[in-house]
Amino acid sequence: MNEMTTVGFIEMKHGTAEDYALLGRYEHEYAAGTADRILEQLARLGGGLSGYKISRLEHSIQTAARAEADGADADWIVAALLHDIGDELAPHNHDSIAADIVRPFVREQVSWVVQHHGIFQMVYYAHHTGGDPEARRKYADHPYYQDAVDFCERWDQSSFDPDYASPPLGHFAPMVREVFARPAWDEAVLRKGVREPLVR
Residue boundaries of the structural domains of the chain? 16-190
Q: For domain 16-190, which architecture applies? A: Orthogonal Bundle (1.10)
The whole-angstrom separation of Cα 42 and Cα 36 is 10
Per-residue pLDDT of the chain (200 residues; tens, 9 = 90+): 568 899 999 999 999 999 999 999 999 999 999 999 999 999 999 886 678 999 999 999 999 999 999 999 999 999 999 999 998 889 899 999 999 999 999 999 999 999 999 999 999 999 999 999 999 999 999 999 999 999 999 999 999 999 999 999 999 999 999 999 999 999 999 999 999 888 87
Q: What's the sign of the alpha-carbon dihedral 65, 71, 75, 79? A: negative
CA 135 to chain centre: 22
Which one, of 142, 165, 180, 151, lies nearest residue 37 by Cα? 180
Instruction: Judge whether 52 and 59 are in contact, CB under 8 Å.
Output: yes
Instruction: Judge whether 71 and 155 are in contact, CB under 8 Å.
Output: no
Looking at residue 113, its pLDDT comes to 98
Instruction: Judge whether 180 and 38 are in contact, CB under 8 Å.
Output: yes
